[in-house]
Amino acid sequence: MNAAIRAVAKVAAARDTPVWGIINGFDGLIDGRFRPLTRRAGKGAALSPMPDVEYAGGLGGTVLGTARSPRFMTREGRSQAAATYEEYSLEGLIVIGGNGTMEGAHHLYLEHGVRVVGIPASIDNDIGLTRESIGVDTALNTIVEACDRISDTAASHHRAFIVEVMGRNSGYLAMAAAVATAADAVLLPEQGRGPDEIVKAVVDVLHQSFDASREKRRVLILKAEGVQIPTEELVDRVRQEMGSDEIEIRGTILGHIVRGGNPSFRDRLIAGRFGLVAVNAVLDGHTDVMAGWNIEEQNGIPTSDTWIKLFPIPDVIAETEALLDGSSHVTIDRVRRMEEIHGVLSI
C-alpha cells in the first residue's frame, strides 16, 4: 500500500496537485486527521512528494495507518466524513483497500456525491474485477520462501507438513503457492469439503506419496485458513487415522507473517501503475470506479495503461460476492484448474 501512496503523491505532484494522506482510513476522514503527502520545498518551488513518503514506498504496511471504523458504518459517521471532505475543499478521494473499503467509498459517493476512485489491495486476491490486488505477490513470495525452508526440514526427516496460509474466504494464496512450491496437495474453502472428507484426502496423499517405491523425501500440503477444519485438529486426526504407520506429520500456521514485509518488485510495479491511473481518473472527473488489473470484460473504461481499466464500484462489489460464493466464472475456473492438477500435485 505504501508503494501506491508514493505513486499517488509523485504523480499528483507532477500534475501540480497537492495530496493529503488520511490517517487511519475512513475513521480519520471523520475526524479530519490528515498529513501532507506533497510539499513545496520553497516559495514558488514545484510540488514534490514528502521525503518520508518517497522512502516509505519500499516498506510494508501503510504509513497512513488503517482502522476498522464502526462509526463509518453508520449514516451519521459518513455524513461527518463528507462534511470534512467539503470543509477541506477536497476534490477527490483515492481509497486503497479491499471489499469493505470499496463499499465505504461507494456509500460516500451515493449519499454525498464524493468523488471516489479505488485501488484494490488485499493479499487474499478476493476483489472482483481485478486479476491481481496489491499485496498478493509479496505474500506469495513470503509463502514460497517459508515453504522452501520448511521443506528443508521435511526432506531431511522424511516428514509431511501441512502449511496453513491466510485466506479466510479465499483459497487463492494456497492455490497459487501450491503450484509454485510443487506441493503434494492443496486444501481450499472453495472445494466445499467437510472435515471427514479432508482428513481422508490427506491420509490418501500421505499413503500415496510415501509409498516406498516413490522414494519421496517430503510431503507438503498447502491449506487455506478458511478450510473447514483447524490445522491442529487436522494434524491430530490424520495421525490417529495413520495409526502405526511411521509417517511423521507436522502443522505450521504462517498467519500474519504472510501479510507484512517489503513489497516485491511486482507489487511495487502494480501499485505504481494503479497510482498513476487513479490520479488521472480523479483529475479526469471519474467517480465511483475502481482500477482493475488485466480484466478483459468490455464494460471497463480504458485508461492510458493497457493493463488497467476502470470499473464501476457496484460491479466490483457484485463480482466480489460472486467470487466468494463460488458463482463467479473466476472461482469456478480456479477450482476446475485445481481439480485438473489434483492428480499432478501428488505425483
Match 491442529 to its residue by C-alpha cell: 232
CA neighbor of 201 nearest in space, from 3, 37, 342, 8: 342
Nearer to ligand F6P, 92 or 104 (CB): 104
Position of minimal CB gap to ligand F6P: 168
**Is 336 a binder of ligand F6P (CB under 6 A)?**
no
**Is 225 a binder of ligand F6P (CB under 6 A)?**
yes
User: How far is CA 129 from each of CA 133, 297, 314, 316, rounded to the nearest angstrom?
Assistant: 10, 8, 11, 6
The 8-class DSSP code of residue 46 comes to P
User: Among residues 69, 122, 125, 142, which is the contact residue for ligand F6P, using CB under 6 A?
Assistant: 122
Nearer to ligand F6P, 97 or 251 (CB): 97
* Total residue length of the chain: 347
What's the min distance (Å) between Cβ of 38 and ligand F6P? 29
What's the min distance (Å) between Cβ of 259 and ligand F6P? 6
The verdict on whether 27 is a catalytic residue reads no
Nearer to ligand F6P, 92 or 171 (CB): 171
What's the min distance (Å) between Cβ of 225 and ligand F6P? 5
Match 459517521 to its residue by C-alpha cell: 77
**Is 123 a binder of ligand F6P (CB under 6 A)?**
yes
Contacts for 18 with CB less than 8 Å, ≥ 6 apart: 12, 36, 38, 47
* Residue 147, all three cell numbers: 515453504
* Residue 127, all three cell numbers: 476483489
User: Among residues 124, 132, 184, 319, which is the contact residue for ligand F6P, using CB under 6 A?
Assistant: 124
Catalytic residue among 124, 126, 184, 267: 124
What's the min distance (Å) between Cβ of 248 and ligand F6P? 28
Contacts for 292 with CB less than 8 Å, ≥ 6 apart: 120, 129, 130, 131, 300, 308, 309, 310, 311, 316
Question: Which residues in 269-298 contact ligand F6P (CB under 6 A)?
Answer: none
Instruction: Report CA torsion sign: 32, 34, 40, 43.
Output: positive
What's the min distance (Å) between Cβ of 106 and ligand F6P? 20
Active site residues per annotation: 124
Residues that bind ligand F6P (CB under 6 A): 122-124, 166-168, 225, 259
